[in-house]
Chain A
Amino acid sequence: MTRDKVLILCDDRSKINDNLELLFKQPLSLDTNIVKGIPWENKYYTVEFDLYIDEIDTNLTDWIDEFMSDECELLREVLAGIIFVLPLGQKDDLEQIQSHLKSENDMFLICSDPTTESEYPHWEDFTTTLEITTFGNSKARNEYGELMGIPRIQEIIDTYPWTNSELKQDHLESSKPEDTVGDDNIQLHHLLSTLQEAKSKYSENKDDSMAQELCEEIAKLILDS
């Protein structure tokens, strides 16, 4: 099945809605939990996916148990990724997410903390399985030069192997040849056809004046190019 849905899980939608709109470059009404056909574009391709926004009303463990149940199998098969927008100051939540959702290899898992602008030290322990970042839009970079916050989330979405993406034509087309190259081809073709014609005419009627005229024409062609 095509994975063309993205799930956002948060604890308070009203606090993060502005940043969600920045992330997806779309107005998002607080009343709407499902947004279909969100366009996503970068310099290489365009893609559309649906956005599901869920507010967690139990604890994270219960939500994960429900998500991993058989009833949600179909949902798991169509999700391209999950973005958790939750406070991540405690290691426990990250351990929960890692231990239960790590097996979903075809999905990206992003954990973003809207309550901080800098990384917690314990986030390093999970970087091989989860993408953990902040949820601001400051364009700051960490010690490795990696973007943080919303720009980093956009990068992760960009590099996901969408199966329903359409490559942009600008990227597919090779660079256009210079105009002069095209002109040279035409002139060369004309030159060769003139020589061929002259060869056949001269063999029938050996006329020096005609040969002289032809030489001048060919010289003019070469000099003009």
Chain B
Amino acid sequence: MSDFTTAFTSAIGLIAGFDTSLIEIIGLSLRVSLSAVIIGTIIGLPLGAAIAVGRFPGRELLIIVVNAFMGLPPVVVGLIVYLQLSKSGPFGWLQILYTPTAMIIAQMILVTPIVIALTRQFIEDANADYDEALRSLGVHGWAKLVTLITEVRYSLVTVVLAAFGRAIAEVGAVIIVGGNINHVTRVMTTSITLETSKGNLGLALALGVVLMLLALAVNAVAATVRRFAPKAAYA
């Protein structure tokens, strides 16, 4: 308990003191994870929506696979991306191993299945309710999909938050493809791993507290946006 109190005090101290290396680490964490989530959303949301309303052979199988991919182990994703990007790998010529770009790619692969699977579920549920009413009004195809997405827009905020939670918290993928290089690819989770292994438990805990505060802050912002969005009353 006292360990935790010390860590918390030291964390507050670090933040309040605008510790530059800490700010740098937080900044990179946010940059990598937010980029991964934005790209993952751009890819995953339309795919999830398409699977929700589409009827094609292999659909059931695809849903099972995507749902299973929500639980991809980060180290495995890290390893696969590593093999692709390493010098001898097919994308070695890009020379992006041990850069934030590689970390963004790895996290994007981790969060996209979450976005696809949850979007698919929300839109499919909405479609079950709205399908006949919309068809009766002559709303088909794209127009129908746009309406369904609009109807579940507040649930989609939760989808994005879940994706962000997964990205910001994982360590296995970014440590393999990023390499935890100081000032270059060091993020919150890899720092915690490093400090723990060096025996700096206080500092590691402090970083852990910062990470949790960060997650809390992002969720609070999202909740506030949701609460005070002009159309929230119509949700």
Partners in one complex: no
Please list the residues of chain B having a beta carbon within 8 angstroms of any beta carbon in chain A.
Answer: none
Please list the residues of chain A having a beta carbon within 8 angstroms of any beta carbon in chain B.
Answer: none
